[in-house]
């Protein structure tokens, strides 16, 4: 299985000052490739947009008909030659969630990325049971990455 090409776009300067953007890109690319290999899912290109709450709310309204902000939205595009995906993440929601769940900012950011990847791998979270299964998988990958105990 070949490695996925990951493109990063930062719409605004919402990353905490202590987070090195270059190191973050390397770490996220590593966990993305690991999860996709482990889940046996091949995606050639993933475009990740980091934005604020108002931007993700607009994407949510326009494409999913939901009038609220969220932490992540994933889109998967398939054709015969390439599988591509867009992932949109609100860094403001990630920060709020890290405070609400008493986790580190980076752990929450990685959880959100893993959550989006699991959706791209075909997992759903539209029932209580499927949410529990997905949370267990998120924790599994976070533990493997050394981001939670």
What pLDDT shows up at residue 80?
63
What pLDDT shows up at residue 147?
81
What pLDDT shows up at residue 82?
66
Q: Which residues pair with 73 in a beta bridge?
A: 88
Summarised one tens digit per residue, pLDDT across range 42-67 is 999 999 999 999 999 999 999 999 99
What pLDDT shows up at residue 142?
94
- For residue 70, with 0-12 CB atoms within 10 Å meaning exposed, 13-18 middle and 19 or more buried, which class applies? middle
3-state secondary structure of 146: coil
What pLDDT shows up at residue 56?
97
What pLDDT shows up at residue 18?
87
Task: Tell me: pLDDT of 17 over 90.
Answer: no
Distance CA 2, CA 34 (A): 11
Distance CA 112, CA 147 (A): 13
pTM recorded for the entire structure: 0.93
Summarised one tens digit per residue, pLDDT across range 75-131 is 988 766 668 999 999 999 999 999 999 999 999 999 999 999 999 999 999 999 999
What pLDDT shows up at residue 14?
84
Tell me the pLDDT band of 145, cut-offs 50, 70 and 90.
Answer: confident
Query: What's the order of all strands across the beta sheet hosting 83-90?
Result: 5-10, 45-51, 83-90, 72-78
What pLDDT shows up at residue 81?
64
Nearest to 117 by CA among 1, 2, 4: 4
């Amino acid at each position: 299985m070949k490695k996925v090409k990951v493109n990063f776009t930062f719409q605004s300067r919402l990353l905490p000052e202590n987070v090195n953007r270059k190191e973050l890109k390397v770490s996220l690319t590593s966990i993305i490739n690991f999860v996709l290999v482990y889940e046996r899912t091949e995606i050639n290109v993933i475009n990740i947009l980091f934005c604020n709450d108002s931007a993700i709310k607009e994407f949510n309204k326009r494409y999913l008909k939901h009038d609220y902000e969220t932490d992540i939205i994933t889109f998967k595009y398939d054709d015969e030659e390439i599988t591509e995906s867009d992932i949109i993440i609100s860094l403001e929601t990630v920060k709020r969630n890290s405070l609400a769940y008493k986790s580190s900012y980076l752990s929450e950011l990685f959880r959100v990325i893993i959550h989006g990847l699991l959706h791209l791998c075909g997992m759903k979270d539209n029932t209580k049971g499927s949410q529990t299964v997905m949370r267990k998988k998120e924790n599994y990958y976070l533990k493997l990455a050394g981001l939670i105990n």
